A and B are shown apart, each in its own frame.
Chain A
Amino acid sequence: MWKILRQVTRAGIASEPPPEPDDALRTPAHAVQAELLATLGRALAVRHVDAGSCNACELEVHALENPYYNLEGLGMRFVASPRHADLLLVTGPVARNMELALRRTWEAVPDPKLVVAIGDCGLGCGLLGENYATRGAVSSVIPVDVAVPGCPPPPLEILRGILTAVQTAAVTRP
């Protein structure tokens, strides 16, 4: 136990300040969703769905959970069930073999809900594109509020995308 405590103390607090939201990342659908968000609770529950990624985006979503980004400190957490989620974080391209599962996961998230698509493939501009096995962009299967480019987007950009999606709700909270 002594070694654990010593290591905890020695490593110190690694959390860094969060990025500023970026209006440039908004899609038109988001403006409507933002008003609905005001009715949500304080903490943001995020459900991640890999709809066809190469796993690089997942590595960076994992990195978002490391102490540097202090996600729970900002009032966000990843949840195990779409029933508990306010926001879906989706990577793509959407494999046709995952299309039904993605739709069902989206349907299982209670309204009002937000969708953030991350990664070039999820935006339909990645190397993997659309073909016999993929639908391409996440927005071709479910409505997307905010789209974060990158191959893969680094954790800070993923966080910026999430913050952009919830910005209005955050402002209207007491």
Chain B
Amino acid sequence: MRAATMRRLGVDFTALPGGALPAWHAKVDAERWLEAARNAHAAGAPLVSLWGTDRRAIGGGTLVVSAAYALPEGLAWLELAVTDDSGYPSIADFHPCAARMQRATADLVGIAAAGAAEARPWLDHGAWTQRHPLRGDAASNPAPAAHDYPFVRVEGDGVHEIPVGPVHAGIIEPGHFRFSVVGEKVLRLEERLGYVHKGMEQRFARTSPLEAHRLAGRVCGDSTVAYAWAYCMALEQATGCTPPPRALHLRALLLERERIANHLGDLGALGNDGAFAFGLAQFSRLREDWLRVSQAAFGHRLTMDAVIPGGVAHDLDAAARDRILRQCDEVQAEVHTLRAIYDEHAGLQDRFAGTGCVAPELAARLGLSGLAARASGRPGDLRCDQPWAPYAALGVRQAAHAAGDVAARVAVRFDEIDESMRLVHALCGALPQGGIRHDVRMPEVPSLGAGRVEGWRGEVFVALELDAAGRIVRCHPHDPSWHAWHVLEHAVIGNIVPDFPLINKSFNLAYSGHDV
């Protein structure tokens, strides 16, 4: 029944066994690859990720490009063998966010998207010691040549460029922004990312699957729970392991606490960028209180390494649970007070309202997803959209705003803090009895796994491939920022340069998570 409905992509899928969320897999030819991209676009099924794999070291293997789409029935994972230099058909015409993923795939695996409008390198800045580092024979590859990066020039009377970064003026991750402006008004923004590319995907393939959750937890430090869970979910699917119910509840508790911690930090920073330092002082105090309770309850302020293969590392005793619940109530009351202050502050609202607007139509056209999409009238939250434990039983209500401006992205964060507080109460109140970890046994056949978790920014995705010896052939972690960075370029058009930090913060996209 489900397999039949999956045919809307024009492809015959087989269900991937196991897995916390339904996932479907298919090998396609170039024609079906393109048709699936077209059909997914027509069906409103967003691209989740696109990545390349070198399977030539495995008997009969080739270079492969994979794409994953999010359908209501589950994840559709397609793969296409790339056997010659002509590459594979570009899907960026249907899914604009694919353009940069295709450029990254060309840099990392050396397979190009045919027919793509854009062929500049993306992650490769000409500084690595190996070209195409995710190829099995990368060690013998020469270093890539240093190259200039031609930014798109805007010409006309009075147009000038402002280059910003990679080192920014604050405590921020590095990236380059090239503004073309007239006076104070931004005509065009072009981003250049990749500065914090650390070769993590190559490192995954040299790490034991039972250790790699720690690496996954450091793809993007602010989303360590989301990544560790997504990795473990993929590993558990590939190995046929189901964590005990108590472990899944504790993972969700950690994830909601991570969401609240980040929203508290962002709401303070957004007040500060709106010249309201009071907001930063108040929210950063609440965030510190929050992290100290995480340290006490889970042994780490950011709860790194708390999610492990097969379950979680720490159980929660009654005293810690009570402390968490008590703090929820205290912090929630303070957040309500601060929300009223933010809402009534004319100067702050003047900065927030109408700034950095992404209208719902634009959000849909560019494939925006996650937190920013929920502020632009584009619903989508894995916790509501897919039946996975323990969220299926919690009836998660997703935040929904449609103005698409900084004010809407602020409102989404306030709403989500309330909902996550409710979820923390629900999770603590119905914590199942029993163990917190099951053993993970490596299969003796090649296997695939997919992990999807709704992190605070949006959907974190991990694709994992193990060989018959239980080693990682490929682990591809994918950040939701890939679906929003290109939208930020549009959000700033027509705004003034001094509003860029505010707009940028209202998205608060990942650099490390993107550059990996």
Contact = CB atoms under 8 A, between A and B. Distances in A.
B302 A152 contact: yes
B285 A154 contact: no
Interface in B158-199: 166-167, 169-174, 194-199
A97 B285 contact: no
A18 interface: no
Nearest to B295: A154
Contacts of B133: 132-133
Nearest to A120: B218
Given A56-B224, A132-B202, A98 B196 contact: yes
B391 interface: no
Contacts of B200: 128
A60 B284 CA distance: 11
Chain A interface extent, by class:
35 or more
Interface in B118-139: 125, 127-130, 133, 138
A80 B167 CA distance: 10
A67 B291 CA distance: 14
A148 to B, nearest CB: 15
Contacts, number: 152
A53 B174 CA distance: 9
B411 to A, nearest CB: 19
Contact of A95 (B138, B197, B302): B197
Interface stretch (B1-9, B335-343, B367-375): B335-343
B278 A4 contact: yes
For A8, A11, A56, which residue has the most chain B Cβ atoms within 10 angstroms? A56
B167 A49 contact: yes
Interface in B205-253: 214-215, 218-222, 224
Interface in A146-167: 151-152, 154
A56 B199 contact: no
Given A65-B284, A66-B287, A132-B133, A55 B221 contact: yes
In terms of DSSP, what is the predominant structure of the interface of chain A?
mixed
Nearest to A58: B171
A54 B337 contact: no
A60 B174 CA distance: 16
A114 B98 CA distance: 43
A89 to B, nearest CB: 9
Nearest to A5: B278
B172 A50 contact: yes
A83 B74 CA distance: 53
B49 interface: no
B288 A66 contact: yes
Nearest to B345: A4
A36 to B, nearest CB: 24
For B202, B215, B288, B513, which residue has the most chain A Cβ atoms within 10 angstroms? B288
A93 B198 contact: yes
A155 B265 CA distance: 15
Interface in A111-170: 126-129, 131-134, 151-152, 154
B198 A134 contact: yes
B203 interface: yes
Given A54-B219, A66-B287, A133-B133, A61 B302 contact: no
A50 B344 CA distance: 36
B170 A80 contact: yes
Contacts of B337: 3, 7
A127 B218 contact: yes
Contacts of B171: 48, 50, 58, 61-62, 65, 78
A82 B168 CA distance: 11
A63 to B, nearest CB: 6
27 contacts: A4-B341, A50-B172, A51-B174, A54-B218, A54-B220, A55-B220, A56-B222, A62-B265, A62-B284, A63-B288, A68-B285, A78-B170, A82-B167, A96-B127, A97-B127, A97-B515, A98-B166, A98-B195, A101-B167, A126-B218, A127-B203, A128-B203, A132-B202, A133-B128, A151-B218, A152-B302, A154-B301
Interface of A: 3-4, 7-8, 11, 14, 48-63, 65-68, 78, 80-82, 93, 95-101, 105, 126-129, 131-134, 151-152, 154
Given A96-B127, A98-B195, 6 more contacts: A8-B278, A55-B173, A55-B513, A56-B218, A105-B167, A128-B200
